[in-house]
Structure 1
């Protein structure tokens, strides 16, 4: 049973370090992957407005933690 700290979750978290949402995509959670990617992409693209960049950074960290702590429902 794969849970927190499993090899798959570690790989997913590392994927999220480079591209937000990629780890969720690796785990098969397409909607979460799209949401994290869009929030971070828009926030980082509008970095000069400061607030969206802060929101994007928080969402990026959240996506890493979410991938690392994911437990599939059985």
Structure 2
């Protein structure tokens, strides 16, 4: 994508709202996408244990912010 705050980053952040890790995948960061998706879906799958669901929700929010603030020039 371009730089922080670009339209591509906004689209990536919106993608992450619906499917965690999809925004990173749109940006071409496959490993980040896999890690975010595994942690979030694992946490949500174990919702009855409460703590993993809270961790999943925090990582889900982190994935959204990470996609929105990604700067291609820094990495």
| Cα deviations by residue, 1:7-38 (Å, 9 ceiling, x for unpaired) | 00000000000000000000000000000000
Which aligned segments of 4 or more residues in structure 1 are displaced greater than 4 angstroms?
Answer: none
Query: For the aligned residues, what is the CA RMSD?
Result: 1.3
More helix by share: 2
Q: Distance in 2 between matches of 1:59 and 1:17?
A: 12
Q: Is the 8 A contact 2:3 2:73 kept in 1?
A: no
Q: Distance in 1 between matches of 2:50 and 2:42?
A: 12
Structure-2-length-normalised TM-score: 0.94
Unaligned runs of 5+ in 1: none
Say whether 1:73 aligns with 2:73. Answer: yes
Structure-1-length-normalised TM-score: 0.95
Unaligned runs of 5+ in 2: none
